[in-house]
Amino acid sequence: MASILIRNARIISPADGLDRVGCVRVRDGVVADIGEKLDPQTGETILEAEGKILMPGLVDMHVHLRDPGFTHKEDILTGCEAAAAGGVTAVACMPNTKPVTDSVETVRYILEKAASAKARVYPVGAITKDLAGEDLTDMAALKAAGAVAVSDDGRPVPTARLMRAGMEKAEAAGLLTISHCEDLDLIHGGIMHLGSVSRELGVPGMDRASEDAMTARELALAESAGTRIHIAHVSTAGAVGFIRSAKARGVRATCETAPHYFLLTHELLRKRDADYRMNPPLREESDVNAIREAVADGTIDCIVTDHAPHAASEKADFEKAPNGVVGLETSFAASYTGLVKTGVISLNRLVELMSVNPARILGIPGGCIRKGCPADLAIADLNQVWTVEPKALHSKSKNTVFKGMTFTGKIVCTLCGGEIVYTCD
């Protein structure tokens, strides 16, 4: 494996107390040396990074790779191409595939196909068999096969009794439980946030109480059982309040949000464009402000994408289209533009949210730049201004909520396992 020298970058690694200009040498898949000045060695590839930042590769703990079963939308290799283009070197892929990731065989299939991918792939197994909300999976077997967490993402576990049993079983197996917080009875066929815009459009809405009520349930169960719980894709002020309060009481809770929840509102749905529909949906300005505050004060632990590709034909009908948006290639730029450039958080805090914390929560390698650490790295040009063009995305699907938006900050190079897997054209 060739040696690579990254020179004159601003090295940012909060986990290692690094924020200084210097050089990093990569050899045999790991960080071999770090210094203010490192002399090139014979045959070494030089990456000149003056004026750019070097950070640990991003870790996206909520991604849908659609493989197996829905590879017309995305597959493991194309999803990881998109990840590499966004500076993401590790993804946790959700289990709502076909077949569902509820067996050792499906976990092994994912890992075998991911062996040649441009990012590390960590399978999330199902809590219940076939996501049916009836019988728990063999979580010890899923863990042994390589799963890092369990979730019935895309739908909630229907009863508190079963969810608590699942959380306890996951804890015993050493797996994180990730909850999709949504009360389906309250949703009752809603396709976007319930509010003034849904009423204006005459379409059924999704009451924010659905997310709030299920979040409260999961936190109560975790507190009672003494287990970990990770709340997925937080989008409401109410959910934020419940999580903040639970953390203050010592509940072993963590949570995530996505860039669209702190940047955009349901006003975009007036366009009747299904590319702006996801689940949970875009909410109101008060929710956006609450999410931003929760990111700033530490209530929210991670920024993810909930990358959910759909074919253009599937998104063509506003009212019948499936929910979901792609996000791997825009997450860093959207978050840097919306949070760091506006002074909500520091760049170091952003790296914690997008790399350090998700790696720690999942218990996987990553989030660091130190000798011996895997050389999963991203180089970004914080001065580059660019516009999101769907046709330029590496994902098979182009359903981005950020189409046409202009961001500051561009990933220009990504290394995974010491190999250059992406360079900006």
Q: Which residues are catalytic?
A: 306
Distance CA 335, CA 332 (A): 5
Structure tokens at 183: 């009360």
In SS3 terms, the chain reads as CCCEEEEEEEEEEHHHCEEEEEEEEEECCEEEEEECCCCCCCCCEEEECCCCEEEECEEEEEECCCCCCCCCCCCHHHHHHHHHHCCEEEEEECCCCCCCCCCHHHHHHHHHHHCCCCCEEEEEECCEHHHCCCCECCHHHHHHHCCCEEECCCCCCCCHHHHHHHHHHHHHHCCEEEECCCCHHHHCCCCEECCHHHHHHCCCEECHHHHHHHHHHHHHHHHHHCCCEEECCCCCHHHHHHHHHHHHCCCCEEEEECHHHHHCCHHHHHHCCHHHCCCCCCCCHHHHHHHHHHHHHCCCCEECCCECCCCCCCCCCCCCCCCCEECCCCHHHHHHHHHHCCCCCCHHHHHHHHHHHHHHHHCCCCCCCCCCCECCEEEEEEEEEEECCHHHCCCCCCCECCCCCEEEEEEEEEEECCEEEEECC
The candidate with the shortest Cα–Cα distance to 30, out of 65, 68, 58, 57, is: 57
Phi, psi of 35 (to 5 degrees): -165, 165
CA torsion sign, 52 to 57 to 61 to 62? positive
